Structure 1
């Protein structure tokens, strides 16, 4: 019998940061847990790989990258005489490691279709509380920080703010895997410039240009990647596939699905009934369940379900038009009527193929400011501290409207 204990202080090799050290045995055990291993089967960017073929990285990659950056942030702040206890340090590692654990298959698609009334942040918290019970209360402080209930504000800001560790990793990582170089921020420089003043996470004046680049990079990544028109179409089509499947399931129609997907299709899910069993079924649900179901549904007798599924599998997506003004109701209604007539569907069914929505890109929100710390020790909002007029402009949200419809009905 082999009694040799496993080495829990592993080193992982990351394509962006190189070697990443697992800081302690608790972090190792959380990473090894099935809840966390599931993140290997959840893509970070949903269907963005239909636009950028390299965008196949997962939530697992992102979470591991975040813990690496958090270790750097703790080191930098301690060097600047910011008191962070060993317990707080560990809690930061746990909180950032688990900040995305509640994401469902294909990220946000489930939230808008079959798992309604509860956000991925709330599900993350449920996972954390369940893990806390398993690890005998060792996640207490991490949960307090994650919920924003800790009196030391900057600890929460490292997890969730406009310049948090989450954003510092995903912008750099998504830029790397998509090949969109505009998003390649200097996370090292930004972390090196971090400090704490009046319990606020701030950036020293020397780092102002890095913050400017970060905000502009975020804006560009949203337009070029996260809100790319083809990605928008694919994600909305996936939402509609799942909505149609849920509709059919409610009517008692038999659908092929894995046991976990079946559970969410044939049971109404809300915050009120999201119990331990639901959490376990959610933990068993990933991208593979959804993709295999869509492949099977492409042969289903329901015309809406099969057509949408085939279009996604074969990347024959809907056409999209984007403009600054809202589309007129008459324009949308005419498209719906055209589809209804040409594909022989009811007008209600045609709305799975014709829909109009809006998108918003708000690169900098002044209600959650990024503060610049000058040499005199004063704090100034980046929008006022910067001499770059673009930064002030980024405080205004940009809203655009889009309509999707099948290409074959073009007049």
Structure 2
């Protein structure tokens, strides 16, 4: 038996709280799970700073990646196998892309990316085609196989059906993280009937479609996603922690560029501060490394870095108020001036943070490819876009919701006893917004 088709002598299973069991029979998958690059995902949380809001949210990118693999395996082996529109030769490619789709995530994922202008998908592709253990396993399948896996993740692979399984508006990635994140945060919003969706999913030339009889399960999925974004992913306390995390990284970077002498030198950060990090250096970064530095930097001479690290490590977060940038910019400018008078650096302690989400949209020319709509397979074999059949989905299609908040350290303002006038002006401006 050739390596791409080789099976383990006995099926391996991972006990999973979301899918009950994750099944592995393919030797390729088993060996990929054992690589150093995939094991690194155990040390990166799926939800970044959310554990500071929902204490159960300690799950990792590792467990999510296994979950996405399992959903794709079930779609293919239980739903697509034997159907004329499905090419069985694409099976292993789909499974590998599903397993490895988040391989390039860094510590505290999106916050980290924004500060240092990184892209986890580019690192995922670099790991897959680079000098790595993952690449060695994939190359045993075929010389061009790593390139194909990278193309699926980059959404450039020629078979769009394969791409749609891990990157579309109803894909294995979203179906796993909604349920997994709901389970670990303890909320009820992210639950939907995935079993039903998988049973009615069918392969078509360019994407997976859903039988019309499963429309209500898809409606439930979309509303679950909407609720999870606003109740969990954009929770203002989580965003407060992200604001502080981001400001720590900005401060450390700024100090480095001004030749500040750190007590705990940021050895792991040097190349990333200069925005010329190698793949080898990137793979050494995980959340335990970052938290080591944050804890050490609590003892730094720089008051801002020390204070921000103490806040993050001890969960002493910023307070917030609702903020409308269209009508309240004058207030923000006045607060900026007052913060400077009070000796509080507004660049680090007065932060406007915005969250926005588009729960579902039908395709519009010129917009991002990921907005490819969900299609229903009608009883007459016609394919129709979801919002044309569902009044619920039609009501939210194309509607973007945006939320703005102003974050600040209430404790520092309360301590301004020697600057009573400035303190009162700041408090009156902040209270005026809330009235």
TM normalised by structure 2 equals: 0.85
Matched, 1:386 2:385: no
CA distance in 2, matches of 1:8, 1:239: 46
Segment of structure 1 superposing worse, 296-305 or 166-175: 296-305
Aligned equivalent of 1:398? 401
Structure 2 alignment gaps of length 5 or more: 1-7, 364-371, 414-426, 429-435
The answer as to whether partners of 2:243 and 2:351 remain within 8 angstroms in 1 is: no
Q: Aligned residue pairs: how many?
A: 391
| Secondary structure at the counterpart of residue 21 of structure 2 | strand
Aligned equivalent of 2:237? 230
Aligned equivalent of 1:290? 290
TM-superposed deviation, 1:30: 1.3
The answer as to whether partners of 1:91 and 1:139 remain within 8 angstroms in 2 is: no
Aligned equivalent of 2:303? 303
| Secondary structure at the counterpart of residue 108 of structure 1 | helix
CA distance in 2, matches of 1:126, 1:365: 31
Matched, 1:340 2:321: no
Among 18, 28, 42, the residue aligned to 1:26: 28
CA distance in 1, matches of 2:282, 2:83: 42
Q: Relative to 1, partners in 2 of residues 1:82 and 1:337: Cα closer, same or farther, differing over 3 Å?
A: farther
Aligned equivalent of 2:356? 360
Among 255, 264, 271, the residue aligned to 2:272: 264
| Secondary structure at the counterpart of residue 103 of structure 1 | coil
Among 95, 99, 120, the residue aligned to 2:101: 99
Q: Relative to 1, partners in 2 of residues 1:357 and 1:317: Cα closer, same or farther, differing over 3 Å?
A: same
TM-superposed deviation, 1:400: 1.9
Aligned equivalent of 2:192? 185
Matched, 1:126 2:126: yes
Q: Relative to 1, partners in 2 of residues 1:249 and 1:8: Cα closer, same or farther, differing over 3 Å?
A: farther
Q: Which string of whole-angstrom CA distances, capped at 9 and with x for unpartnered residues, describes residues 208-252 of structure 1?
A: 001101111001000000000001111121011101001101112
Q: Which string of whole-angstrom CA distances, capped at 9 and with x for unpartnered residues, describes residues 276-320 of structure 1?
A: xx1111111000111111111122111111111111112111111
Q: Relative to 1, partners in 2 of residues 1:8 and 1:286: Cα closer, same or farther, differing over 3 Å?
A: farther
TM-superposed deviation, 1:263: 3.7
| Secondary structure at the counterpart of residue 109 of structure 1 | helix
Matched, 1:370 2:374: yes
Which aligned runs of 4 or more in structure 1 are off by greater than 6 angstroms?
none
TM-superposed deviation, 1:207: 0.8
Segment of structure 1 superposing worse, 28-37 or 250-259: 250-259
Superposition map of 1:69-108 within 5 A: 69-79=71-81, 81-108=83-110
Matched, 1:199 2:202: no
CA distance in 1, matches of 2:224, 2:161: 24
Aligned equivalent of 2:320? 320
TM-superposed deviation, 1:85: 4.2
Q: Relative to 1, partners in 2 of residues 1:7 and 1:158: Cα closer, same or farther, differing over 3 Å?
A: same
Structure 1 alignment gaps of length 5 or more: 1-5
Q: Which string of whole-angstrom CA distances, capped at 9 and with x for unpartnered residues, describes residues 181-205 of structure 1?
A: 1111222221111112343311110
CA distance in 1, matches of 2:29, 2:200: 27
